[in-house]
């Protein structure tokens, strides 16, 4: 071939084609997706934790009261601790009800309204009315603990709702 033929056989350099609509490499896409998943998981976890904070604190405190009772076996001390715990949880769950001064039968009716039965006014929970202030009042500790656990489960939706606000 002659030099002229070789020159005619040359082709111009063609510019590269248009880039695709997605410029990131698959590795970068995987990292980006991982970062999004981690952020979303942390965000959902923080919402869950905030919502369940009041209920979890109430459960933890009740468990501490039960553990303390298992150690000291003093029913009067258990009664005082449970009464205080009931009042604290009720104030958190129902701040609009002005329960600070509720005592006696009005307090028991409130507790029954939360539970949906008469366990406090006519059942084992009568003790939380006026009998708690007597020096030698008798009650069954296990039944009281079960009643307070039932009451906590009954106010759980209210505590969760308050945690969302």
**Cα–Cα nearest to 120, from 128, 84, 140:** 128
| Predicted local distance difference test score (pLDDT) of residue 105 | 83
pLDDT per position as a tens digit, 30-76: 999 999 999 999 999 988 888 788 889 999 999 999 999 999 888 88
> Residue 159: how many CB atoms within 10 A of its CB?
22
Side-chain-facing half-sphere of 140: CA atoms under 13 Å: 6
State residue 101's pLDDT score: 76
Q: What is the pLDDT of residue 91?
A: 87
Q: Taking the CB of residue 23, how many other CB atoms lie within 10 A of it?
A: 7
CA dihedral 115, 138, 69, 54 (to 10 degrees): 20
Predicted pLDDT of residue 134? 63
Cα-Cα end-to-end distance for the chain? 87
Q: Please write the tens of the pLDDT for every residue from 75-87.
A: 888 888 998 999 9
* 154 and 113 Cβ atoms separated by less than 8 Å: no
Closest by Cα among 116, 120, 112 to 143: 120
Report the mean per-residue pLDDT for the chain.
85
Note the pLDDT of residue 10: 83
Q: Which among 110, 149, 146, 105 has a CA at the least distance from the CA of 127?
A: 105
Lowest mean pLDDT among 90-94, 137-141, 146-150, 157-161: 137-141
Can you give the pTM of this predicted structure? 0.69
């Amino acid at each position: 071939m002659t030099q002229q033929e070789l020159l005619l056989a040359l082709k111009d350099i063609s510019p590269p084609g248009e880039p695709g609509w997605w410029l990131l490499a698959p590795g970068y896409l995987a990292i980006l997706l991982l970062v999004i998943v981690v952020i979303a998981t942390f965000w959902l976890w923080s919402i869950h934790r905030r919502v369940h904070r009041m209920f979890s604190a109430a459960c933890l405190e009740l468990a501490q009261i039960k553990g303390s009772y298992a150690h000291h076996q003093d029913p009067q001390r258990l009664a005082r601790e449970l009464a205080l715990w009931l009042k604290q949880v009720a104030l958190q769950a129902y701040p609009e009800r002005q329960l600070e001064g509720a005592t006696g039968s009005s307090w028991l009716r409130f507790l029954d309204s939360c539970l949906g039965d008469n366990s406090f006014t006519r059942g084992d929970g009568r003790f939380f009315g006026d009998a708690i202030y007597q020096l030698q009042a008798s009650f069954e500790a296990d039944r009281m603990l079960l009643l307070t656990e039932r009451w906590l489960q009954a106010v759980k939706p209210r505590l969760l709702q308050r945690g969302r606000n």
